[in-house]
Amino acid sequence: MRKTIITTITALLVSTVLMTACVNMQNADTDPAASDSVKTAAVTDGDFDPYSVANRYDVGAEMFEKRSDVDYGTLLKDVTYYSTVAGDNKQVNILLPAGYDENQTYPVTYVFHGFGGDHNTHIDTDSYLVLLYGNMLHDSLAVPQILVGMDMYTDKLADKESKSEEELRYIYDKAIKETGVDLIPFIEENYPVKTGRENTAIAGMSEGGAKSLCTGFEWLDKFGYIGAFAPDTGVIPTEYYKGTFWNTPYMEEFPQPAEDNAPYYLYMTVGSEDPWNIDCTLYYRDVLNEMGVKNQTELVEGYGHDSDFWGQCFYNYLSKIFRQ
């Protein structure tokens, strides 16, 4: 059953044509012939405005299942690079899209995991995100791109298992700097990715959602798209979880974007059954609204803090990025 959005979508510019295309995509199963042309047009529309299209949270299980007729691309596991910030090697998983051609260039999306995960959490063999993206690409619902599954642990790898949650929280903070200083240069030097913020996205959930917000705003010159799904506290000062390490802010305030580095799409969302991050997600929204920073932030009825929700969020995010 369709989950209903119970908060307003901020800064929403309604477009009749695009809303019609969105409805047609949602009804694809009932009209395959019509939907094929709509899907293709939607992905290639140079006038596309991501804020004008309502997100959906009723994506069926079939979008997360493996199909016999779909090419899910090539997964490069445990790719090692040296991190000057960690002072050690780190690893990423890299998903090359179906039809990958090393002589072409692709936009790139960097994906943070939640607390306690690693680079395998969301981008791995037959993981839900790999299957979702492959199915979306096959159905012309997403732009061909390279996905990079990151590890937020940014310290000596041999010491990882001995770290407390509090120590991990601050070690994860170092991934914000490390992404711009070490990882992006490594990816751009070794893989055929398009450069520039218009071709670079970041997304994450829970603690990774907080780090996605921090990284996107720390590096506004590098990231044009920011997705934060049920982000934790610890981005800017809040009243939530005060007195705990979760509350310690990474930055004192969001940097004010200028006209030339404002996000093309900033998407935050949280489920109504989330036990931790409703208040802080909506607080981030309110602060950004006061700053005049355009965003699409939603409180979604019926979802919790789990992979079922992350899948819905990634569907929306992947359907909107890199389409301008």
Span between the terminal Cα atoms of the chain, in Å: 31
Indicate whether 22 belongs to any domain. Answer: no
- Is the pLDDT at 143 greater than 90? The verdict is yes
Closest CA to 317 of 283, 269, 273, 276: 269
Cα–Cα distance between 136 and 73 in angstroms, integer? 12
Which is higher by pLDDT, 295 or 34? 295
Give CB contacts under 8 A, 24+ apart, made by 164-172. Answer: 165/115, 165/245, 166/245, 168/115, 168/116, 169/115, 169/207, 169/234, 169/245, 169/246, 169/248, 170/245, 170/248, 172/115, 172/207, 172/211
Specify the DSSP element, H or E, that contains 134. Answer: helix 128-138
Structure tokens at 41: 């047009």
Span 189-214, average pLDDT: 98
Q: Reduced to 3 states, what is the DSSP secondary structure of residue 76?
A: strand
Highest mean pLDDT among 11-25, 33-47, 112-126: 112-126
The residue-averaged pLDDT of 83-109 equals: 98
Q: What is the mean pLDDT of residues 53-60?
A: 98
Q: Is the pLDDT of residue 101 over 50?
A: yes
For the cut 70, the answer to whether the pLDDT of residue 7 exceeds it is no
225-229 and 265-271 beta bridge pairing: parallel
Give the pLDDT score at 45.
64
Residue 40, pLDDT > 50, answer no
Q: Give 10 or 53, the one with higher predicted confidence.
A: 53
pLDDT band at 34 (very low <50, low <70, confident <90, very high): very low
Which residues make Cβ contacts (< 8 Å) with residue 25, sequence separation at least 6? 35, 38, 39, 42, 141
pLDDT of 259-301, one tens digit each?
999 999 999 999 999 999 999 999 999 999 999 999 999 999 9
**Res 154 pLDDT > 70:** yes
Closest by CA position to 267, among listed 226, 217, 231, 233: 226
CATH code, 165: 3.40.50.1820
Q: How many domains does the structure of the chain reveal?
A: 1
pLDDT of the residue at 324: 77
Give the mean model confidence (pLDDT) for residues 208-224: 98
Of 135, 107, 129, the C-alpha closest to 321 is: 107
Q: What is the mean pLDDT of residues 44-60?
A: 90
How high is the mean pLDDT of the chain? 89
Instruction: Tell me what the mean pLDDT of segment 231-253 comes to.
Output: 97
160-180 confidence digits (pLDDT tens):
999 999 999 999 999 999 999
Could you tell me if residue 16 is inside a domain? Answer: no
> CA 19 to CA 44: how far, in whole Å?
16
Q: Under 8 Å CB-to-CB from 249, ≥6 apart: which residues?
A: 234, 235, 236, 237, 238
Residue 5 has pLDDT above 80, yes or no: no
What would the mean pLDDT of 34-38 be, rounded to a whole number? 36
Structure tokens at 266: 């900033």
Evaluate whether residue 44 is within a structural domain.
Answer: no
Domain membership flag for residue 182: yes
Judge whether residue 311 has pLDDT over 70.
yes
Determine the Cα–Cα distance for residues 113 and 234; give it in Å rounded to an integer.
16
* CA dist list (Å): 304 to 83, 243, 300: 34, 25, 9
Q: Is residue 34 part of a domain?
A: no
Give the domain extent around 256. Answer: 59-318
Q: What average pLDDT does the segment 191-205 reach?
A: 98
Q: Does the residue 35 lie in any domain? A: no
Looking only at the bridges linking them, the beta strands covering 108-112 and 200-205 are: parallel
Would you say residue 172 lies in a domain? yes
Give the pLDDT of residue 36. Answer: 37
Q: Which pLDDT score, from 0 to 100, does residue 43 have?
A: 66
